[in-house]
Structure 1
Amino acid sequence: MRTIINSVMFFWLVLAVPGIAILYGWLTGGIETMDTIHPTGETSARLMIVAMLIGPLAGVLGPKRWLLWLLARRRALGVGAFAYAMAHLIFYAIDMGSLEAILGELPIASIWTGWLALALMLPMALTSNQTAMKALRAGWKRVQQLAYPAAVLTLLHWLWIHDGATAAYVHFAPLVLVWLLLALRKLTKSQPSPQAGV
């Protein structure tokens, strides 16, 4: 059982479950195209948040076994976030019905923030493999740091596309909180000991 849980294929299957359910509902007519847009976008945001939480959470709590397990799968979570973002785009395009309609919405802030977030996620997804890591070396981390502006744009997209802001804040609040705790921990560690210099 432990071997199955730790397998890469099992983890990818777990990540795919929401997408399979949405696609099945859409193909069988149980879900309208418009109703596939929000869940795919929100699943993408959730996976992005979890992927970005793991590193700073390990910095705050230390090397816990479950965090190390998640750290080994962080890239899969990021790629999963991009895959759901692409599904979000595809269903949005189907719902809009034409390229003219899609281009007509581009100047709207709630729309172009989503496009820009997706554009930033693309190079991260394309380089989330061992070959890219070896080829890019130190540059690989700089590419992956695009996650930060992508997260901000995703939050803005979520805030502006919905009437209520509560859900967006609830989802992103843990990420902000952990970053603040990590910054506070680093700050207190950098402070000199009261006995320093004695």
Structure 2
Amino acid sequence: MSILKSIWDHPVTFWVLLSLPAIPMILGLTSGDPEAIADVLHPTGEFAARFMILAMMITPLMLLFRNASWPRWLMKRRRYLGVAAFFYALAHTLLYLLDEGAVAFTGGEVTRLYIWTGWVAFLIFVPRAITSTDQWVRRLGRSWKRLQQWVYGAAVLTLVHWAALHDWGGVAPAVVHFAPLALLEIYRVWSRQQRRHQRAAA
């Protein structure tokens, strides 16, 4: 049992789990199908959003399930989720550029709501991914936490990016994915206010 637990708790195991969605994507890209890039484009973006959402849900889940061990298990791996979200977002961006070519940089394309929100969200991801190592955490100190808080802006931009796709045809899937995070964040704010009231009354 201890051997299985050590395997399950090993960082490599978690990275394997995070990599599983990429397997069918890679197989699709190497299949020779001329539509492969277009077919894989949206799944890469969706998994980038999913891993970002999961990473953001961990703190409020720890508040909601204070006595459970699994939120703490996830907390130890939250940075892995953030890095995985970045790499899926990077793949999404590169595939978009390959699919669109030079058109991706034209004014008519860049100024579309679902395009520029995606670009800005990705640019927010970049410094967060670069500074995800322990060395950067120590070097930046308190500034590292402030940098990480930009993820809330990235989340809003990602929500709009997803919802605005196909003439706002992405609203339903975007809401389904982001609603649990929104509810947990509301609970987090409420819980913080309750603690403040308790301290003030003590």
What is the TM-score with the length of structure 1 in the denominator?
0.92
Whether 1:173 and 2:173 are equivalent positions in the alignment is: no
Whether 1:62 and 2:66 are equivalent positions in the alignment is: yes
CA distance in 2, matches of 1:10, 1:164: 33
Give the alignment of 1:46-195 within 5 angstroms: 46-96=50-100, 98-99=101-102, 101-104=103-106, 105-162=109-166, 163-191=169-197
**Aligned residue identity for 2:15:** W
Partner of 2:22: 19
CA distance in 1, matches of 2:198, 2:143: 33
Partner of 1:9: 12
CA distance in 2, matches of 1:92, 1:33: 8
List per-residue Cα deviations over 1:74-122 (Å, max 9, x = no partner): 00000000000001011111111x23x0112111111000000000011
Find runs of 4+ consecutive structure 1 residues off by over 6 angstroms. none
List per-residue Cα deviations over 1:141-184 (Å, max 9, x = no partner): 01111111000000010011141411100100011101111222
Partner of 2:41: 37
Deviation, 1:191, is 2.7
- What value does the CA root-mean-square deviation take over the aligned residues? 1.6
Unaligned runs of 5+ in 1: none
**Aligned residue identity for 2:83:** V
CA distance in 2, matches of 1:160, 1:8: 36
CA distance in 1, matches of 2:143, 2:50: 26
List per-residue Cα deviations over 1:25-75 (Å, max 9, x = no partner): 211135621111110000000000000000121122215210111000000
**Aligned residue identity for 2:110:** L
Unaligned runs of 5+ in 2: none
What is the TM-score with the length of structure 2 in the denominator?
0.90
Q: How many residues align?
A: 193
> Which structure exhibits the higher relative contact order, with contacts defined as CA atoms closer than 8 Å and separated by 6 or more residues?
1
CA distance in 2, matches of 1:73, 1:63: 18
**Aligned residue identity for 2:26:** L
Do the aligned partners of 2:44 and 2:92 also contact (CA within 8 Å) in 1? yes
